[in-house]
Homo-oligomer: A and B are copies of this chain.
Amino acid sequence: DRNGAAEVIFGQGKTVDQLRDIMNSLSQHGQDILVSRLTEEKAEPLVKEFPGSVYHETARILTLQHTKPELTKTFICIACAGTSDVPVAEEARITAEFYGNSVKPIYDAGVAGLHRILAETEVLRQARVVIAVAGMEGALPSVVAGLVKAPVIAVPTSVGYGASFGGATALLAMLNSCASGLSVVNIDNGFGAGYLASMINKIA
């Protein structure tokens, strides 16, 4: 077990039966469980069968936690550019909170309206680590990294059309950021960003 007493299941492509089996086996060993990329249809029966489990609709995550972890004093800030990016930002948030991190979300902080993100400069600067989520041209992480001295985890999303090429444009833009202290995870990988941010936030 790489994550203390918690185990993560990648829900996509698994049937309800497969998921039930894995969850049963894990919860018998007293482990906390996070199922990512779980559709509402598959979540419904599982939530009923596992008392105490919670389905986070926007994040498409199911969590089953025996005791709520005490939250960290330092916090992770999650900024995202537009309404369509919120599911990925929420995947990051639920993941980070599952691991006991305090999180402050700043959603709808698009680059085209700079004032919105600038208005949040203080919160951003107090965070121990920032997750910046954006699709289309993917400029938000660059702007954020220019404002703060903490590590910035950039998450490209598949939001967009035409030359966004399923998130490839945002991904490439983030990898080419001129701002220091920024690194990138896979397209739509909110889980990975939340997990890494937790690692960094909990460094003692």
Cβ distance A20 to chain B, nearest Cβ, rounded Å? 14
Report if A27 contacts B (CB, 8 A): no
Contact A13 B172 (CB under 8 A): no
| Distance of A91 Cα from B92 Cα, bound (Å) | 31
**Contact A162 to B186, CB < 8 A, known contacts A172-B169, A178-B111:** yes
Cβ-neighbour of A183 out of B18, B160, B185 (below 8 A): B185
Chain B proximity mask over A163-204: 1 for CB below 8 Å, otherwise 0: 111111111111111111111111111001101100110010
Is there contact, CB below 8 Å, between A137 and B138?
yes
Q: Which of B14, B143, B170, B175 is within 8 Å of A176, CB to CB?
A: B170
- Most chain B beta-carbon neighbours within 10 Å: one of A167, A182, A195: A182
Is B171 touching A175 in the complex (CB atoms < 8 A)?
A: yes
Q: Residue A175 contacts which of B147, B151, B163, B196 (CB distance < 8 angstroms)?
A: B163
A136 touches B177 (CB 8 A): yes
Would you call B159 and A163 a contact (CB within 8 A)?
A: no
Q: For chain A residues 1-26, which have a beta carbon within 8 Å of chain B?
A: 2-3, 8, 12-14, 18
A180 to B150, CA, bound (A): 20
* Contact in complex: B181, A199 (CB < 8 Å): yes
Query: A114 at the A/B interface (Cβ < 8 Å)?
Result: yes
CA distance A82 to B14 in the complex (A): 11
Could you list 25 A-B pairs, sorted by A, with CB under 8 Å? A2-B149, A3-B180, A13-B159, A18-B83, A81-B178, A111-B142, A111-B179, A112-B142, A112-B179, A112-B180, A118-B118, A139-B143, A143-B143, A156-B162, A162-B167, A163-B186, A164-B172, A164-B176, A164-B186, A169-B169, A171-B175, A175-B185, A176-B186, A182-B196, A183-B193
Which residues of A are interface residues toward B (Cβ below 8 A)? 2-3, 8, 12-14, 18, 81-84, 110-114, 118, 128, 136-139, 142-143, 145-147, 149-151, 153, 156, 158-189, 192-193, 195-196, 199-200, 203
